Amino acid sequence: MGRRISYREALREGLREALLEDERVFLMGEDVGRYGGSYAVSKGLLDEFGPERIRDTPLSELGFVGMGVGAALGGMRPVVEIMTVNFSLLALDPIVNTAAMLHHMSGGQFSVPLVIRMATGAGRQVAAQHSNSFEAWYAHVPGLRVLAPATVEDARGMLKLALADPDPVLIFEHAQLYNLTGELPEDERAAVDINQARIRRPGSDVSLVTHGGSLPKALQAANELAELGISAEVLDLRVLRPLDDASIMASVRKCRRAVVVSEGWRSGNLAAEVMARIHEQASPDLLAPVARVCSEEVPIPYARHLEEAALPHVHKIVSAVKTIMKQHD
């Protein structure tokens, strides 16, 4: 039997292990030190590792992300924490124009082994400017690896693998997951991968393809569908760039129907890319067109009932599955 642990605690254990194993690793960002992190992920690490390795930064994402790029080029292994994905927009230039491009533009002479962690997602009544899901923006960029851990084993284990990558890695932690608990398996290392998607629940009638904070909703929807006699397979993408086409197609070809669930806005969402690839590669196997469940095309509202209405939820997933189950080729 494994041990029960929260997503937040799993992230902290992963950070602590990385700091212990490699003296080049350090954490930097706003409030990561004395405050213990905006989401309490780094709580206690300053006392253990000191201010040289747990570095509080000014409120300047452009500045400290740029410093992280420089530190990575200088041989360090920085882990940069950006408080929320919304604030990462202030650092788009060092992330996209420098970190992602430098290996190519230097003819392979330089790599940027930088890890950037950031909270993403809505559902906490923190209004439009703090509730976005911009994973698809970064998954669009060659030169970046984009991860979305949604389980405690991925939360704990992905950082070590990301730090071993010679190129920049972005890790998106959905804010709704921090308090969730899960069973950390004894063979947790075998379960963690930063290359492949993973089936979280096997099924045979419909494939629910999702990632991040939408995974618990997809799993709950699968439970409700099972009561209706519908066997839903839940595929956790967990690696958003590069997408694991092989695992997606294997699930879709088996189930022959698919619903893609993603919290980003419908237009330009990662769900659209997944749908396009399914139709390009597995269209003859489908019994119905692929459906998607995404956020509504509005800035995320502050009011609780409006925020709930704007986001993907279990009943929307169940409804989408019921619709495509009625369709035939």
Domain spans, the chain: 3-191, 198-325
Distance between CA atoms of residues 255 and 287, nearest Å: 9
Single-letter code of the amino acid located at 201: R
Per-residue pLDDT of 120-139, as tens digits, reads 999 889 899 999 999 999 99
The CATH number that domain 198-325 falls under is 3.40.50.920
Class level of CATH domain 3-191: alpha beta
What whole-number distance in Å separates Cα of residue 273 and Cα of residue 140? 10
Over the Cα atoms of the chain, what is R_g?
Answer: 20
Decide: helix, strand or coil at residue 59. coil
Between CA 213 and CA 65, with CA 161 as vertex, the angle to 5 degrees is: 75
Residue 329: pLDDT above 70?
A: no
In the numeric block, which tokens belong to residue 208?
């629910």
Local structure of residue 35 (DSSP, 8 states): T
pLDDT tens-digit readout, 154-194? 999 999 999 999 999 999 999 999 999 999 887 766 789 99
3-191 and 198-325: identical CATH topology: yes
Residues carrying an active site annotation: 61, 130
Spatial neighbors of 34 by CB under 8 A, at least 6 apart, are 46, 56
- Amino acid identity, residue 123? G
Sign of the four-CA dihedral 56, 61, 62, 67 = positive
| Sequence-distant (≥ 6) Cβ neighbours of residue 275 within 8 angstroms | 260, 290, 292
pTM for the model stands at 0.96
